[in-house]
Amino acid sequence: MCFWVIYNQMVVDVDEPQDQALDELFHALADPTRRDILRRCVAGEPSVSRLAAAYPMSFAAVQKHVAVLERAGLVTKERRGREQLVRTDAGAVDRARRALEELEATWRGRVDRMSDLLAEGTEPKTRNSTTKGTG
Amino acid sequence: MSITSVDTDLDNLTLTLIADFDAPIDRVWELWSDPRKLERWWGPPSYPATFEKHDLTPGGEAMYLMTGPDGDTSRGTWRVTAVDPPTSLEFTDAFADADGTPLADMPSPRVTVQLTERDGGTRMEMRSKFDSREDMEKLVDMGMVEGLRQAVGQMDGLLTG
């Protein structure tokens, strides 16, 4: 499978936000508890109460950490029944659309490379070519 | 120049791409059937693919290794379901473990390739279809996971170093 573009884009997204967003991002990631919360959210979709149970601090304190991550755009909260789930991405539709976009980008790259390969074979060999001038 | 149309269908979880190449059908087919040619375009320049196995027969398998800029590797495998040289090929493309065994819980889109002669050149129609929306989302989540893991890992390094 070849979806490595996703990785690169994600890193770019993290590396180059606007100034204020960058401040919020660094602030959000500067705290070890918040980094740990983020890891848990990446691995699943924990509820705020499940997160609160994982740390020796109050529910309100954990809620505050989640709010900081939310402001930085790293997580979103979604109410499900009596629980608030913390997720790392906006929504299922966006994720599905993004998958197709990544796949499209992958295949556009492939077709470009196929074209280049096909063109290679039809260009005059360099020893016969005096116009291109490259050896 | 080559890509004539691209259609992403969210409801049917399908990407359909049509490309027109200014080359005879046999040469376009070779890009699929010759592993040394295939590996020159399958992976992006930053993650070149090496095909260690390449058996384009019904029920056959292809196995490839992709190597990233940091030496990180990842494996994939094709299960060929139908082949009719030089016009059609169908396979599923899956993530694989180090032995080349497909990872069952990972998405594996079904890929259909059709080549037809057209206006002295060759038209390629490629369709890639996911089994379920969950599969597609899993793929994006994986990228997110990896991206976040890298970002957070770098943060950890910076903050503790």
Best mutation target, A8, A12, A22, A114, to test chain B (most B CBs within 10 A): A114
* Residue ranges of domains in chain B: 3-130, 133-161
Best mutation target, B103, B141, B150, B154, to test chain A (most A CBs within 10 A): B141
**Residue A7 covered by a domain:** no
CA B4 – CA B124 distance, rounded (Å): 10
- The CATH superfamily assigned to B3-130 is START domain (3.30.530.20)
User: Do A59 and A108 fall into the same domain?
Assistant: no
Instruction: State which residue of chain A sits closest to B106, comparing Cα positions.
Output: A1
Confidence of residue A111 (pLDDT cuts 50, 70, 90): very high
Residue B136 burial (10 A CB sphere; 0-12, 13-18, 19+): buried
Domain limits at A44? 17-87
Torsion of CA A45, A47, A53, A59, to 10 degrees: 140
CA A52 – CA A46 distance, rounded (Å): 10
**Residue A36 covered by a domain:** yes
User: Do A38 and A75 fall into the same domain?
Assistant: yes
To the nearest whole angstrom, how far is the Cα of B25 from the nearest Cα of chain A? 11
CA B117 – CA B23 distance, rounded (Å): 9
User: Do A59 and A111 fall into the same domain?
Assistant: no
User: Do A61 and A114 fall into the same domain?
Assistant: no
Kindly report, residue by residue over B4-58, the tens digit of the pLDDT: 998 888 888 888 999 999 999 999 999 999 999 999 999 888 888 999 999 999 9
Confidence of residue B123 (pLDDT cuts 50, 70, 90): very high
Confidence of residue A25 (pLDDT cuts 50, 70, 90): confident
ipTM of the complex: 0.81
